Amino acid sequence: MTKMTGNVKMRATDTVFGGLDSDEPSVPIYFAGESQDAASWQKHLPDTTHRWLEATAFTPKAGSHGLIPHEDGHLAAVVMGVGDGESGDPCGPSELLLGKLARSLPAGLYTIASNTKHSALAATAWGLGGYRFDAYRNSSDTSTTNARLKLPESVNHEAIRNTVEAVWFGRDLINTPASDLGPAELEAAGHLLAKQHGAKIQVITGDALLEENFPLIHAVGRASDRAPRLIELNWTPKKKTKDKLKNLTLIGKGISFDTGGLDLKPAAGMLLMKKDMGGSATVLALAHMIMGQNLNVALRVLIPAAENSVAGNAFRPSDIITSRSGTTVEIGNTDAEGRLVLADALSYADEDKPDAIITCATLTGAARVALGPDLPALFATDDELATAIGDAGSKIGDPTWQMPFWPGYQPFLKSKVADLSNTGSLPMGGAITAALFLKSFVKNADHYVHVDLYGWRPSDKPLCPMGGEPHTARALFEALKGEMLA
């Protein structure tokens, strides 16, 4: 990936996957479990390998691996410990641990030698784990070779590559510094997807937002010299069924950098604010999967993109702004800007009465205090939908945790001078009051799902090195594949 100075790229996955017709020899990877009968994973290994593993004190605990040399000095095999069969990162089958090997094995081509019913998930884990973001490092500091996996014949190669490519795309967007990724570059990402998948795209920029009645998006972004905008994609599948298509709208928070506005963040609070557009990266990654794998939905993507900056024309605490829906909003804090841009986008989406609206946003610190960095807070208007998403994510290592649209906290959003305040008066339950604020702008959609995500991995995990992560993109896609909107 080149630096994103207006030229957004989609990276190919050839660095982690071998070619379909390659005759290059591959090194087998065997799974070894503590709870397995030893013979089940050792029966394919010669006596010399057994002795080597014993001499090197290899134990099949989760995440461990042993390298088996050939008598000529080359690598003959790899044994990966899967422990008791669960990955522990953070859930799901042990095959997820294969992502760890993608970053730790020597360059070369590998193949999964053990029988597994989760071969597609294992291959996906390898691709996700092999991600690197080195666009800003000198070539002398980076490795030009990768360990590559020969995809099993039994899996859908195109689907796996598309999923990995989508997550990489989302990660690249989040990891790119705000100096090279602003509202215009998020628009470029939308154009890239539209061109690749035959979607229609339209963008409303700058003062035109006022003319088209998106006052909250305009207010949040007007202090920046990078014009705010609303990016919209529309797509329908190439092969349609006789069934009526479900209308799905995805909305991603696209705040490319958040200073906090006039309620300025402290220095430490700004260090990761390049990731405040993580919601938009998530919906773009999800959209790439939906369109790339031709899911049977009529898809609409909305990204309210802005930079929350400080200038003489910045919106102020105590300002009252009339939203697109006509609801007046008192600004209690300019650092609660994400819910403002989402409110206008939600009103716009809701006007078409879609079957479902999903918002993804790095919205509140309260969600992180409650659930930490790995568990996005999931809100849904019906428990069945939340369960479908949660179950799907748990099976593939992309978990969520359901939180309530608790109506008892709605009164805390009241303002004495406007219809709503953008900050709750209760100094607790901030993730819930923020979710309730958004839900106030949804009147017509059959289903509403809101995801409050972190968008960042603070440490290396098997499926992702430290850095940007479009949390829940895979979970939502798996749930949609399972016809959660049926």
pLDDT of residue 1: 34
Residues 144 and 165 in one domain: no
Domain assignment present for 230: yes
Span 88-92, average pLDDT: 55
Span 124-148, average pLDDT: 82
pLDDT of residue 477: 98
Domain assignment present for 103: yes
Least confident of 40-54, 90-104, 121-135: 40-54
Tally of residues, the chain: 486
Our count of domains for the chain comes to: 2
Domain assignment present for 369: yes
Residue 394 has pLDDT above 50, yes or no: yes
Residues 325 and 446 in one domain: yes
Distance CA 107, CA 125 (A): 17
Residues 174 and 144 in one domain: no
Span 352-381, average pLDDT: 97
Least confident of 74-78, 224-228, 389-393: 74-78
Residue 173 banded pLDDT, cuts 50, 70, 90? very high
Residue 473 has pLDDT above 50, yes or no: yes
Residue 361 has pLDDT above 60, yes or no: yes
Residues 165 and 286 in one domain: yes
Distance CA 324, CA 322 (A): 7
Residue 34 has pLDDT above 90, yes or no: no
Mean pLDDT, the chain, as a whole number? 91
Least confident of 143-147, 252-256, 388-392, 452-456: 143-147
Residues 149 and 173 in one domain: no
pLDDT tens-digit series, residues 302-315: 999 999 999 999 99
CATH number for position 36: 3.40.220.10
Q: What residues make up the domain containing 269?
A: 159-481
Domain assignment present for 8: no
Last residue of a domain, one of 127, 155, 183: 155
* Beta bridge partner(s), residue 467: 457
Report, as residue numbers or ranges, the catalytic residues.
265, 339
Domain assignment present for 109: yes
Residue 320: CB atoms within 10 A of its CB come to: 13
Both structure tokens of 224: 């920046």
Report CA-CA distances (Å) from 441 to 104, 165, 476: 47, 33, 22
Domain assignment present for 124: yes
Least confident of 52-61, 261-270, 404-413: 52-61
pLDDT of residue 82: 82
Distance CA 163, CA 124 (A): 8
Residue 54 has pLDDT above 90, yes or no: no
Residues 388 and 279 in one domain: yes
Span 323-328, average pLDDT: 98
Residues 441 and 411 in one domain: yes
Domain assignment present for 429: yes
Angle between helices 183-197 and 278-292 (to 10 degrees): 10
> How would you label 19-52 residue by residue, b for 16+ Cβ within 10 Å and e otherwise?
eeeeeeebbbbbbbbeeeeeeebbeebeeebeeb
Distance CA 101, CA 91 (A): 18
* pLDDT higher at 4 or 252: 252
Domain assignment present for 191: yes
Span 10-33, average pLDDT: 85
Span 400-407, average pLDDT: 98
Residues 328 and 400 in one domain: yes
Last residue of a domain, one of 126, 155, 184: 155
Residues 53 and 167 in one domain: no
Nearest 5 degrees, angle CA 292-CA 298-CA 303?
80
Q: 3-state class of 345 per DSSP?
A: helix
Residue 244 banded pLDDT, cuts 50, 70, 90? confident
What percent of the chain is predicted at pLDDT more than 90?
76
Last residue of a domain, one of 122, 139, 155: 155
Global pTM value: 0.94
What single-letter amino acid sits at 280?
S
Least confident of 60-64, 156-160, 191-195, 238-242: 238-242
Residue 158 has pLDDT above 50, yes or no: yes
Residue 6 has pLDDT above 80, yes or no: no
| Burial of 364 (C-beta count, 10 Å sphere; 0-12/13-18/19+) | buried
Span 407-411, average pLDDT: 97
pLDDT of residue 58: 86
Residue 137 DSSP code: S
Phi, then psi, of 226 in degrees rounded to 5: -105, 110
pLDDT of residue 60: 82
Distance CA 373, CA 256 (A): 20
Residue 37 has pLDDT above 80, yes or no: no
Residue 44 has pLDDT above 70, yes or no: no
Residues 172 and 33 in one domain: no
pLDDT tens-digit series, residues 282-305: 999 999 999 999 999 999 999 999
Q: 3-state class of 29 per DSSP?
A: strand
CATH number for position 362: 3.40.630.10
Residues 254 and 278 in one domain: yes
Residues 94 and 128 in one domain: yes
pLDDT of residue 100: 92
Residue 326 has pLDDT above 90, yes or no: yes
Report CA-CA distances (Å) from 368 to 155, 374, 387, 437, 438: 36, 9, 21, 18, 18
Span 200-222, average pLDDT: 98
